[in-house]
Amino acid sequence: MSSPDSPLLPVLSPIAISEMTTRSGKVFNDGKADINMNSPGKNGRAEKSDRIFYIVFASLVLDLLAFTVILPLLPGLLDHYSQNDSSGLYNVLKNSVSGFRSLVGAPDNARWNSVLFGGVIGSLFSLLQFLTSPIIGAASDVYGRRPLMILCMIGIATSYLIWAVSNSFLTFVIARIVGGISKGNVSLSTAIVTDVSSPQKRGKGMALIGVAFSIGFVFGPSIGAGISILTKADDAAVAYMIPALFSLTLALADLIFIYVFLEETLPTNKRLQSKNVLSHAIEYINPVSLFKFSSVKKLSATESSKVQSLGAIYFIYLFIYSGLEFTLPFLMHDRFSYTSVQQGRMFFFLGFVMALVQGGYTRRISPGKESKIASHGILILMPSFVMMAYASSTWFMYLALTLFSFASATVVPCLTTLVSTYGGDNEKGTIMGIFRSLGALARAFGPFWASAVYWSFGPNACYIQGALILLLPMYQIYKQVKAETKRSTFM
């Protein structure tokens, strides 16, 4: 919920327009401005990094508002395509979902069928990000961040255009596929923040990315719900055309914004010289290679071990987190009879708490404290899951959700900051792409695991098991904290 890999949620901080509209830097022979982070003056470098932070932040807010508009509309869209699909794909996928539902013992009703159906589409989107994020990141190490960012935004805008004319479910799925393939802008954003930030300011940049996600996932669905109310009409095509055109407008505005204001942050002399990105595509998407970070060459044996450990911690954490997050609406409905409106209020509460944590705490974490804070987040998440398993009153559940929000606002930003410190300047895109790819893989399969446990063994077993499995990443990160403490003692 809090990170580049989270589906949820802080409130919009004031952004100084003058900071976003001031351009500086030298011009390379391709005519594009480049950030000169070696220019004299500590204050000058700090101002440049801050300006890039806010440009990335504003771009992600536009992107995520457009991306999340569809979330409250998805059940209605699926209902529309169930009655108006000439391609036959809807029935094929429906039968597959029904088979999974029967296998895990989920109840056969329209509400949960829609949730599971949406989960399948969400998993498809995550799988596509798993395949493309490391390739896009590696390509940015060779060709620069700016051209790849523009290319991603063109793809995202194209996906909304296809959605706007999707008169069949097949066309709608194609739109989601194009969007999933193009969604490398998030990992590129983390690479850009890494390019321009000092170790002291990198945490602030990663926290701002988390804030952008939080804004998008709080306000985007509300906008989508508002559009659905204002555009009720007999013509079912309006159900998807108007929100799709709204998302397309935001995507085009984001594309123009990036083209005008985003400067290249990876100078030509710091780029990876190899041009054979596609020839290494299999290595980039091979899960074994990803967990080993094999594509990152400039790592010592010790550094490689630490990066692999961070990747494993991130994957296990997000696998559990995304799975239990997916089952949370089931739990709230079954135990407290929550309606869709009440569910929306619950997620808004999560976003508000995360806003307070990210805006007032996460962005102020001192360099070198990231492992410790991430361990605290995971440690807090475990009793949160136990409390959810046995909560019999809403106030106790909301106490658990408060702890849940703290973990959401701290763990992923801290892990992202940690992994961004490794590798050479010309491999940051590859590292961040691989890292995000591992998160996408976790999000693709986490909901299936959690749904199976939830419906087969009950919510108590599901949440308790999740809390116990978190002991694995907790132990791994504890070892890192212990090693860092020992090293700082001898320094």
pLDDT in tens, 382-408: 999 999 999 999 999 999 999 999 998
CA atoms of 480 and 313, how far apart (whole Å): 11
Most confident stretch, 166-175, 207-216, 244-253, 331-340: 244-253
pLDDT-derived band at 30 (thresholds 50, 70, 90) equals: very low
Stretch among 26-40, 282-296, 401-415 having the lowest mean pLDDT: 26-40
pLDDT higher for 123 or 397? 397
pTM above threshold 0.95: no
Residue 114: its pLDDT value, please? 64
Q: Is the pLDDT of residue 29 over 90?
A: no
pLDDT, average across residues 217-246: 74
Say if residue 152's pLDDT is above 90: yes
Give me the mean pLDDT over the 329-342 stretch: 81
pLDDT at 283: 73
Question: What is the predicted pLDDT for the residue at 470?
Answer: 95
- Comparing C-alpha atoms, which of 209, 189, 118 is closest to residue 148? 189
pLDDT of residue 8: 35
pLDDT interval class at 250 (50, 70, 90): very high
Listed residue (271, 273, 314) closest to 290, CA to CA:
314
Quick check: 13 and 211 in contact, CB under 8 A?
Answer: yes
Evaluate if residue 103 carries a pLDDT over 80. Answer: no
Q: Helix, strand or coil for residue 368?
A: coil
pLDDT at 185 over 60: yes
Cβ atoms of 117 and 93 within 8 Å: the answer is yes
pLDDT score of 381:
95
Q: How far apart are CA 64 and CA 186, in angstroms?
A: 10
Distance CA(107)–CA(109), nearest Å, equals 6
Model confidence at 92: pLDDT above 80: yes
Q: Which of 144, 202, 270 is nearest to 421 (CA)?
A: 202
| Residue pLDDT, tens place only, 39-80 | 445 555 667 788 999 999 999 999 999 998 887 777 677 777
Query: Is the predicted pLDDT of residue 37 greater than 80, yes or no?
Result: no
The pLDDT assigned to 280 comes to 65
Query: Can you give the pLDDT at residue 19?
Result: 27
Mean pLDDT lowest for which of 24-28, 207-211, 368-372?
A: 24-28
Q: Residue 257: pLDDT above 60?
A: yes
The residue that leads in pLDDT, 303 or 117, is 303
CB count in 10 Å sphere of residue 103: 12
Q: Is the pLDDT of residue 264 over 60?
A: yes
The highest-confidence range among 16-20, 94-98, 368-372, by mean pLDDT, is: 368-372
Count of other CB atoms within 10 angstroms of residue 441: 23
- Residues constituting the chain: 491
Residue 6 has pLDDT above 90, yes or no: no
Q: For position 12, what pLDDT does the model report?
A: 31
- Across the range 479-485, mean pLDDT stands at 72
Q: Which residues contact 483 (CB under 8 A, 6 or more apart)?
A: none
Q: Are 261 and 111 in contact (CB under 8 A)?
A: no
pLDDT of residue 231: 64
Mean pLDDT for the stretch of residues 418-442: 86
* pLDDT-wise least confident of 49-53, 272-276, 316-320, 336-340: 272-276
Mean of all residue pLDDT scores within the chain: 80
Query: What angle separates helix 42-68 from helix 145-164, to the nearest 10 degrees?
Result: 20
What whole-number percentage of the chain has pLDDT above 90?
29
pLDDT at residue 352, as a whole number: 80
Distance between CA atoms of residues 209 and 198, nearest Å? 16
Residue 82's pLDDT is what? 80
